[in-house]
Chain A
Amino acid sequence: MAEHPTASLDDVVHQRHRLGILTVAAEAKRVGFGYLRSTLELTAGNLSRHIAVLEQAGLVAVEKDYDGKRPRTWVGVTPAGRAALAVEMAALRALVERHVASQA
């Protein structure tokens, strides 16, 4: 019997905002902290906490540099993060398809 799609959902990735961070970061080489904050409409503290969780899981890498005297934080998705995102998206799509099929 095929495994239920929910078995593929990863708690670290599945959280809505962390999924958003990974989705945006996967589209670029790296993304600025400010860009993520405004795009995802999160507070700095909240975004920092989510990034820390993803970094601890090895799904994103954080870099810091300076724009003049202003410190800047960049977030880049790691190969593990890209793979985890692909698994999560496939599981979500499978769940939606299952739901649609059960309604038909």
Chain B
Amino acid sequence: MADLLGDLAELRRRAREDRHAYSFPLLFFGVASFLALPLYAPAEPPSRGFEVRYPVLLGLFWLVVLLAGGLATVWWYRRRGTRVGIETSTRGYLGATVIGLSGPVVGLALEHLPFRFYSGTGAGLIVLAVATVLWHRGAPRAVTSTAAVLGTAVLQHDQPAIAQFIAIGLGLVVLAALERSTRFTTITAAYLVALCVSAAFTPLVVSQPTAWSLGSVVVLPGSVLLVGGLVGLRRG
């Protein structure tokens, strides 16, 4: 009986291993992060705040990256599933991509609220935690999605410099849950830690901003994505 349980655990482990395809999204978003660096050139004349020279171009770049990256990731998982013979459901990831992209739109409505959150980041994280608990408990999809959209929007609104990385992180958390891979979960956790560190300690407000000082907010999370993608590629 114990042998049977051991054999089944081995089958489960093998099936999970064969489903792994996380290196692609990590590499895609990692490379995109570094490609975005030139767009973080400071505004002319330089100001002390987080003001880039081409804000529309930067916004458009990340919109295209998030959209193309989300769709390419779904395509990649489906293609790999067909090739290997074991498919991962990508519906949750597609949902996370839509939530990540809808955050800035909902954020516009947040501007018109009659009150301000004491800590938008704290409120956003709490709502996202509630959404995660609801998801785990199998709450109606409309309730979970609404909580996830609200939490993401509040978080992105409070942390505009890393809004795109919050969207990427949301997708990675969902993918890690779908893949049930310890390595991918560890990489995703490292990415989220890097994101928090990057948001907390990057000197966005300096007297003489440069593309590096403004763009440094993308270097740490971008590096984790790249290294994680390379690790995934090496391990197959």
Contacts and interface: CB of A to CB of B under 8 A. Distances in A.
B158 interface: no
Contacts of A31: 15, 85-87
B11 interface: yes
Interface of A: 16, 19-20, 23-24, 27-32, 34-36, 39-40, 67, 74, 89, 92-93, 95-96, 99
Contacts of A20: 7-8, 11
21 contacts: A19-B4, A20-B8, A23-B15, A24-B15, A24-B86, A27-B19, A28-B86, A28-B87, A28-B89, A30-B87, A31-B85, A31-B87, A32-B85, A35-B18, A35-B85, A39-B11, A39-B14, A67-B82, A89-B5, A92-B5, A96-B1
B56 interface: no
Interface footprint category on B:
20 to 34
Interface of B: 1-2, 4-5, 7-8, 11-12, 14-16, 18-19, 81-82, 84-89, 180
Contacts of B18: 35
B12 A99 contact: no
Contact of B89 (A16, A23, A29, A40): A29
Contacts of A16: 4
A40 B86 CA distance: 14
A92 B4 contact: yes
A24 B2 CA distance: 18
A31 B16 CA distance: 12
Nearest to A35: B85
A32 B5 contact: no
Given A31-B15, A39-B14, A74-B87, 10 more contacts: A16-B4, A20-B7, A24-B12, A24-B15, A27-B15, A28-B15, A36-B85, A67-B82, A89-B8, A99-B1
